[in-house]
Structure 1
Amino acid sequence: MNQTTSDDRITREDGESGGRWVYRADDAEAEMTYSRLRTAKIIVDHTGVPDAFRGQGVGLALAERMVADMRSEGMRVIALCPFVKAQAQRHPDWADVIE
């Protein structure tokens, strides 16, 4: 993770049909949203990073947290989000999580 981001600033909001990972700092927030597909599968559909966080590794930090959470829960991910798709191609070690 980039040194300007901190994993303790990322929280997960999990609901029955989906949720999001959120990075908050300086009255701004970035998010990665998902929908539940099945008990053991989610669809990550959007990553939004405001200009205030651009170039700080916040999007990657959200993706890393998502992969870590899904790996620990034995979940699989379908990446509809173009950012997550691109990161999955750069991180072949995520193949156990991202389809």
Structure 2
Amino acid sequence: MIEVKHTNDGKRGSFEAFIDGTHAGLMTYTWAGEDRFIIDHTEVEEEYNGKGVGKEMLYSAVDFAREQGKTIIPLCPFAKATFQKHEEIQDVLVNKV
């Protein structure tokens, strides 16, 4: 099971994934004003590639954006590609991809 922990200091934040307590991935973001944030980087540990870690972190970011009434700018290639593939999460985009 993938556990995602969210941190946010008001300027930057991250979604960090763990599998059985082991660090599996990291997605970072930067605030762009009060209403939106930019996903700027996603990394998944090599041994967890293809196990849905990146997608789980992105879906956590989408849930956070929805709960807080914020929008997302996906600059990271992984995030941008995932948004393009999954129409059901595009409601949180600043501009549709």
Q: TM-score, normalised by structure 1?
A: 0.86
2:76 alignment counterpart? 81
Q: Which runs of 5+ in 1 are unaligned?
A: none
Q: How many residue pairs are counted as aligned between the two chains?
A: 93
* Structure 1: 4+ residue segments shifted above 4 A: none
Superposition TM-score, scaled by structure 2 size: 0.88
Equivalent positions of 1:1-99 (< 5 A) are: 5-6=1-2, 9-25=3-19, 26-98=21-93, 99=95
Q: State the 1:27 CA deviation.
A: 3.3
Root-mean-square deviation (Å): 1.3
State how far apart, in whole Å, the 1-side matches of 2:38 and 2:4 are: 19
Question: Gapped runs of 5+ residues in structure 2?
Answer: none
Deviates more, 1:60-69 or 1:24-33: 24-33
Work out the percentage of aligned pairs sharing the same amino acid. Answer: 29
